[in-house]
Structure 1
Amino acid sequence: MIKNDLFLKALKGETVDRPPVWMMRQAGRYLPEFMEIREQYDFFTRCQTPELASEITVQPIRRFNMDAAILFSDILVIPQAMEIEVQMKPNFGPYLPDPIRKAEDVTRVVVPDINDTLGYVMEAIKMTKEKLNDEIPLIGFAGSPWTILCYCVQGQGSKSFDLAKGFCFTQPEAAHELLQKITDTTIAYLKEKVKAGCDAVQIFDSWGGMLSPIDYQEFSWQYIQQIVDALKGHAPVIVFGKGCWFALNKMAQSGAAALGVDWTCSAQNARYLTGGQITLQGNFDPARLLSPPKDIKKMVRQMIDEFGKDRYIVNLGHGILPNIPLENAKAFVEAVKEYSQ
């Protein structure tokens, strides 16, 4: 039994004394102890070495005692497993030297055996569970098929993902074939993560907001729905679509346990669009963690008041920034723990 099950209670919609709190990208780049590891090992070595990944996962918990841990990994381990080369270049980000641009490229993409290709992730989960010692739950995650496609086709990060969108709009059959392969791989991957010990899973649709509402249904949502359908009987599923407020109503009917909300959508609108019956997660602007700690505490309390303490998980509206002072991250977590109506 997990001792602090506040996060799992919130996912079930149970009444709680205060909402749980964790932060997207909490395991990582704003922590000095993480930077020490980063100086010694390159990015994918950190992901692929279970001892390192598990250590990085628990670092923020030791420091700030959040109500859930999220496994240190990356969404791009999926294309790597599908035999698409992914590099992480310093001061640049992800780089795919051989991007997918035509139908023939899609045919060479494999749906892998997860234990053969991503067994190191499962080992990291088992090690992390030992370190957490049933104190708090562990979250596993994956990128949405559309978000993975964006990188596979664009070949790197982008402000517009114009090549990825162009691929979908000019070669829709090839695009759907690739999206289905990513979806099948992701379902198998998340199921193995749950089997290895993850208590919940989150799907990150980081680039969903790049699409119009109609294109979102066709190229993103229908594949996320497949993942939710396949996983919801195994573990609670959180769906986070950045910039996807227009789809919140549809998402609320998906069977997901919770929906992430970014900082561009108010609590009132998020509750209205989702019908008020589903757990919401978010939506503090990550840049607002640059405010003075006393202001952060005040804004967090106000945010909880607006969402309501039940069916709510306090989080950021996207990942924590690397330049956030430790005392500010601490103020964010403390404000939630000190919350009383």
Structure 2
Amino acid sequence: MNLPTSPTPADSRVLPAAHPLQSGRTSASPLVTTYQGTRGPVTPVWMMRQAGRSLPEYRALRVGTDMLDACLDPAMASEITLQPVRRHGVDAGIFFSDIVVPIKLAGVDVSIVAGKGPVLPHPVRTADDVRNLPTLDEAALAPISEAVALTVDALGDIPLIGFAGAPFTLAAYLVEGGPSKDHIAARTMMHSDPESWQALMRWTATVTGAFLRAQILAGASAAQLFDSWAGALSLADYTAKVAPASALALARVHGLEYTAPDAASRTVPIVHFGVGTGELLGAMHDVGADVMGVDYRIPLDEASRRLGGTVPLQGNIDPAFLAAPWPVLEAHVLDVLERGKAAPAHVLNLGHGVPPDTDPAVITRLVAFVHQVAADAASSLPAPTPAA
């Protein structure tokens, strides 16, 4: 599968002067510097799906509003993004949206069914289906840009992370028509009709790359590509049939430059995360990621070993521990922090999303605990010897 890349035009590689990274508001934040590979005194912490279903204020706000309508209401999407930052004191916001939003904005009929997920009444399974997919008019992304701008203004020096679904995960939804346990229809199309598969992957890479780029240009300080279903693939299939499309999507945000406080030229950090992808870590990193998210199935020290010990990591608390007694969760968090030391730098996160029935007080306590661990470690250091 040889998808040509679509590099960002040279004259648009430099972020605008008002961008939080370029202006210095977020470029020295613990999250961004950790993503850049610098281990600081504090391990930054945020949670996937921290915005949304586990929060009572979210459920109250969403009453009577469809999920995708909420994603496309800039004021509502911004408020939902900000809710966990206010409540939990996390070190970053994660933009509230859904991976199928760019598909909907392109004109594909898709809805999110409660308790099931994205549903498409007209699956894409033939060459004609692929040819008839609509072209995304990037002007349709205006509500996304507006929501990000509102959120960034409210966050101040706390960075916002933009996110998008990886091309394979989007393609799997399109082919299957909804969630699937084994993605057999998508994997069958991959092998039985490789030309249509390549065209479908090009389409998904184009729309999701545009979605991610819009968030970055509007003020997000990092990008995360989320591949929910890549764990269903063999390494050979991922490398040959999927990785080129992920690289094409990330080409829209790869190399966006800003000047750091130390006057060095840096680029917007890119995180790549997948579920059940321990065997794919190296290949997923190679598509253009700076940081690898790791799910809860392998320990961080093993993940770092597989990546050659040179890649910053994000993860990987098992979400199941959030309902365990506090001493059990505390011991697990300390273990994750200790294993994270094998990597050059580490952002603490879950190894998947916050379960909907999680007690929000547990997340708040967890974030405070991680910050306190850093404070206690700093206070235990010997005092510097006075200069002669």
- The TM tier, using the shorter chain, reads over 0.9
Residue among 220, 228, 248 paired with 1:226: 248
**Correspondence 1:160 to 2:182:** yes
Corresponding residue number in structure 1 for 2:61: 37
Distance 1:55 1:149 in 2: 30
| SS state at 1:339 partner | helix
Corresponding residue number in structure 1 for 2:230: 208
> In the TM superposition, what is the alpha-carbon distance from 1:98 to its structure 2 partner?
0.9
Letter in 2 for 1:320: V
Q: C-alpha deviations, 1:131-153, integer Å up to 9, x for none? A: 11x23100111100000001001
Corresponding residue number in structure 1 for 2:160: 138
Distance 2:115 2:202 in 1: 32
Distance 2:70 2:103 in 1: 17
> In the TM superposition, what is the alpha-carbon distance from 1:335 to its structure 2 partner?
2.2
Corresponding residue number in structure 2 for 1:101: 125
Residue among 222, 234, 239 paired with 1:217: 239
| SS state at 2:242 partner | helix
Q: C-alpha deviations, 1:239-294, integer Å up to 9, x for none? A: 00211111222334444220000111111210100111111001111111111223
| SS state at 1:251 partner | helix
Corresponding residue number in structure 2 for 1:194: 216
Letter in 2 for 1:109: L
> In the TM superposition, what is the alpha-carbon distance from 1:53 to its structure 2 partner?
0.2
Corresponding residue number in structure 1 for 2:77: 53
Alignment TM-score, normalising by the size of structure 2: 0.84
Distance 1:244 1:225 in 2: 17
> In the TM superposition, what is the alpha-carbon distance from 1:331 to its structure 2 partner?
2.5
Q: C-alpha deviations, 1:197-255, integer Å up to 9, x for none? A: 11111000110001111111123222112233442211211000211111222334444
Distance 1:277 1:92 in 2: 38
Corresponding residue number in structure 2 for 1:338: 372
Within a 5 Å distance, the mapping from 1:79-118 to structure 2 comes to 79-115=103-139, 117-118=140-141
Provide the aligned length of Structure 1 versus Structure 2.
339
Alignment TM-score, normalising by the size of structure 1: 0.95
Q: C-alpha deviations, 1:80-131, integer Å up to 9, x for none? A: 123211011223321101111100000111231222x221111100111121
Structure 1 stretch 170-179 or stretch 183-192: which is displaced more? 183-192
Task: Answer whether contact 2:39 2:346 (CA < 8 A) is retained.
Answer: no
**Correspondence 1:291 to 2:324:** yes
Within a 5 Å distance, the mapping from 1:182-331 to structure 2 comes to 182-234=204-256, 235-308=268-341, 311-331=345-365
Distance 2:109 2:241 in 1: 23
> In the TM superposition, what is the alpha-carbon distance from 1:329 to its structure 2 partner?
1.3
Taking structure 1 as reference, are residues 254 and 165 closer, same or farther at Cα in structure 2, changes over 3 Å only?
closer
| SS state at 1:40 partner | coil
Distance 2:77 2:313 in 1: 28
Root-mean-square deviation over aligned CA pairs: 1.5
Unaligned runs of 5+ in 1: none
Which structure shows the bigger proportion of residues in helix conformation? 1
Q: C-alpha deviations, 1:45-82, integer Å up to 9, x for none? A: 11010010000000000101100101100000121123
Taking structure 1 as reference, are residues 79 and 266 closer, same or farther at Cα in structure 2, changes over 3 Å only?
same
Unaligned runs of 5+ in 2: 1-23, 257-267, 378-388
Corresponding residue number in structure 2 for 1:63: 87
Task: Answer whether contact 1:111 1:182 (CA < 8 A) is retained.
Answer: no
Q: C-alpha deviations, 1:8-63, integer Å up to 9, x for none? A: 01011113002100000110000000010122311111101001000000000010
Distance 1:253 1:261 in 2: 15
Distance 2:228 2:300 in 1: 20
Q: C-alpha deviations, 1:171-218, integer Å up to 9, x for none? A: 111011010011122222222221111111100011000111111112
Task: Answer whether contact 1:300 1:335 (CA < 8 A) is retained.
Answer: no
Distance 1:55 1:80 in 2: 22
| SS state at 1:160 partner | coil
Select the structure of larger CA radius of gyration.
2
Distance 1:181 1:337 in 2: 42
| SS state at 1:118 partner | helix
Task: Answer whether contact 1:76 1:148 (CA < 8 A) is retained.
Answer: yes
Corresponding residue number in structure 1 for 2:14: none
| SS state at 2:175 partner | helix
